[in-house]
């Protein structure tokens, strides 16, 4: 099969012919139909500490068709259309039994060995228990949106929104825009999005934002005006140094900051800012099985505005260049790979 391979820091992905995968007893082989490119793929292919190991095929936001099953697979059949959770737990501990693979001690002991990769290849293997069957009404592109939307849902749920809450979302990438959608659905009042350009504005408003702030000067006053007061909740969805401190400065007294942005470098925040407001600072990453299934359910029942997040598709040959281009400012919300195009 053909696959994109991470070849090392500072080197574009390579397109290689590699052996077809074979399933272990509890795994299925998927023919990958769509795989989204995630901000974490960009981080992990550029970070010397928390990065991919050379030889890995990245890609975890995938949807595909089951083409082979391992000997212990009981639920899935060849021909099933599925998407898959990207955090692989052991399947036997209390956390896994509770639908919380992120809390699994095996995953926590070595997260980089327990993630799902392989979506930028024509086939990949996934444990059966991590697959969720796609309802017929969902396309493969819809299926590839489930994973990133589940991350946003988890982040918004970690904020424990009160009905009518004033919400400020920092960042208008796919994580931030997904957070807008869920904040709207989970009962927020006014929702403002702050970003460095107007690029995400149309989509943010479509997904439920009530204001879009694209100027970095005097953001606190802008947010106050747009929300009718300082934000009860600030969702940090940028992942750049300085953003956590900015989120803390913008939140109201005893407000909540939830960090979803993935910043892999050192950052400085001034604790007294949080102290003098008695802020709650929380972090959110990945999702529970229930949250993942909730996204499938919501997509299946409609939510056409979410499809607008999918802004383009590339084949493997165009992927290395398209992947590098995403490191610069660009107009994509979610670019997907079709490894068969
Ligand atoms: Zn992702
Ligand atoms: Zn486990």
DSSP 276-310: TTT-EEEE--S--HHHHHHHHHHHHT--HHHHTTE
**Per-residue pLDDT tens for 55-64?**
999 999 999 9
Report the domain count for the chain: 2
Whose atoms come closest to the Cα of 86: which ligand? 1
For residues 129 and 162, state if they share a domain: no
Q: What is the CATH number of the domain that holds 92?
A: 3.90.180.10
pLDDT at 51: 77
Report the mean per-residue pLDDT for the chain.
Answer: 95
Considering the domain architecture, whether residues 270 and 165 belong to the same structural domain is answered as: yes
Q: Domain for residue 182, yes or no?
A: yes
Task: Flag whether 6 is in a domain.
Answer: yes
Residue 298 lies in a domain: no
Q: Indicate if the pLDDT at residue 168 is higher than 80.
A: yes
pLDDT, tens only, 75-96: 999 999 999 999 989 999 999 9
pLDDT band at 264 (very low <50, low <70, confident <90, very high): confident
Whether residue 111 has pLDDT greater than 90 = no
Is the model's pLDDT at 115 over the cut of 80?
no
Q: Is the pLDDT of residue 114 over 80?
A: no
Pick the ligand that lies closest to the CA of residue 92.
2
Residue 112 has pLDDT above 80, yes or no: no
- Average pLDDT, integer, range 128-142: 97
Percent of the chain whose predicted confidence (pLDDT) is above 90? 89
| Residue 40 confidence (pLDDT) | 86
For residue 289, being part of any structural domain is answered with no
E strand spans, the chain: 2-5, 14-17, 27-36, 61-69, 81-84, 123-127, 131-133, 167-170, 191-194, 211-213, 233-236, 256-259, 280-283, 310-314, 334-337
CA 217 to chain centre: 29
Ligand nearest to the backbone CA of 84: 1
Q: What span, in angstroms and rounded, lies between the C-alpha atoms of 66 and 82?
A: 7
Mean pLDDT to the nearest integer, 149-168:
98
Confidence category of residue 48, pLDDT binned at 50, 70, 90: confident
236 and 128 assigned to the same domain? no
Q: Which ligand is nearest to the CA of 152?
A: 1
- Quick one: pLDDT band at residue 244, thresholds 50, 70, 90? very high
Q: Tell me: the pLDDT tens digits for 216-234?
A: 789 999 999 999 999 999 9
pLDDT at 49: 74
Statement to judge: residues 124 and 221 lie in one domain: no
Judgement on whether residues 27 and 100 belong to the same structural domain of the protein: yes
- Asked if residue 266 and residue 181 are part of one domain, the reply reads yes
Residue 270 Cα to ligand 2 middle (Å):
36
Domain boundaries, position 81? 2-133+308-337
Predicted local confidence at residue 183, as pLDDT: 98
pTM of the model: 0.96
> How close is the Cα of 186 to the center of ligand 1, in Å?
22
In a domain, 140, yes or no: no
In the prediction, which pLDDT does 238 show? 95
Q: Cα(157)–Cα(193) distance, rounded to whole angstroms?
A: 18
91 alpha carbon – ligand 2 mean position (Å): 5
For residue 165, what pLDDT is reported? 98
Question: Considering the domain boundaries, does residue 299 fall inside one?
Answer: no
- 88: CA distance to ligand 2 center in Å? 8
Residue 103 lies in a domain: yes
pLDDT of residue 52: 83
- Tell me, yes or no, whether 173 and 94 share the same domain: no
Q: For the domain that residue 240 is a member of, what is the CATH number?
A: 3.40.50.720
Q: How far apart are CA 214 and CA 234, in angstroms?
A: 16
pLDDT band at residue 312, thresholds of 50, 70 and 90? very high
Question: Looking at the structure, do residues 81 and 172 belong to the same domain, yes or no?
Answer: no
Ligand at shortest distance from the CA of 60: 1
Confidence of residue 44 (pLDDT cuts 50, 70, 90): confident
Q: Is the pLDDT of residue 284 over 90?
A: yes
What is the mean pLDDT of the segment spanning 135-164?
A: 98
């Amino acid at each position: 099969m053909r696959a994109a391979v991470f070849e090392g820091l500072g080197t574009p992905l390579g397109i290689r012919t590699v052996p077809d995968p074979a399933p272990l007893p509890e795994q299925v082989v998927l023919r990958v139909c769509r795989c989204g490119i995630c901000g974490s793929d960009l981080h992990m292919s550029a970070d010397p500490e928390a990065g991919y190991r050379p030889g890995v095929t990245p890609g975890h936001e995938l949807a595909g068709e089951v083409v082979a099953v391992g000997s212990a697979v009981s639920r899935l059949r060849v021909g099933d259309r599925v998407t898959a959770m990207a955090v692989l737990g052991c399947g036997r501990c209390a956390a896994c039994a509770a639908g919380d693979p992120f809390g699994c001690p095996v995953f926590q002991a070595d997260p980089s060995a327990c993630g799902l990769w392989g979506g930028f290849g024509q086939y990949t293997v996934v444990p059966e228990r991590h697959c969720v069957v796609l309802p017929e009404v969902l396309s493969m592109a819809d299926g590839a949106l489930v994973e990133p939307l589940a991350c946003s849902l988890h982040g918004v749920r970690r904020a424990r929104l009160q009905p009518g809450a004033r919400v400020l979302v920092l960042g208008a990438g796919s994580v931030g825009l997904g957070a807008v959608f869920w904040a709207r659905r989970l009962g927020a009042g006014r929702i403002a999005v702050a970003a460095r350009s107007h690029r995400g504005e149309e989509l943010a408003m479509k997904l439920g934002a009530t204001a879009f702030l694209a100027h970095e000067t005097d953001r606190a006053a802008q947010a106050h005006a747009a929300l009718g007061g300082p934000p009860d909740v600030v969702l940090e969805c940028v992942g750049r140094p300085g953003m956590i401190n900015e989120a803390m400065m913008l939140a109201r007294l005893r407000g909540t900051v939830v960090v979803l942005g993935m910043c892999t470098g050192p950052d400085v925040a001034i604790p007294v800012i949080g102290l003098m407001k008695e802020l709650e600072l929380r972090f959110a990453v990945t999702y529970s099985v229930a949250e993942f299934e909730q996204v499938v359910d919501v997509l299946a029942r409609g939510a056409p505005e979410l499809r607008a997040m999918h802004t383009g598709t590339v084949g493997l040959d165009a992927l290395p260049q398209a992947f590098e281009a995403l490191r610069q400012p660009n107009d994509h919300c979610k670019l997907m790979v079709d490894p068969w195009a």
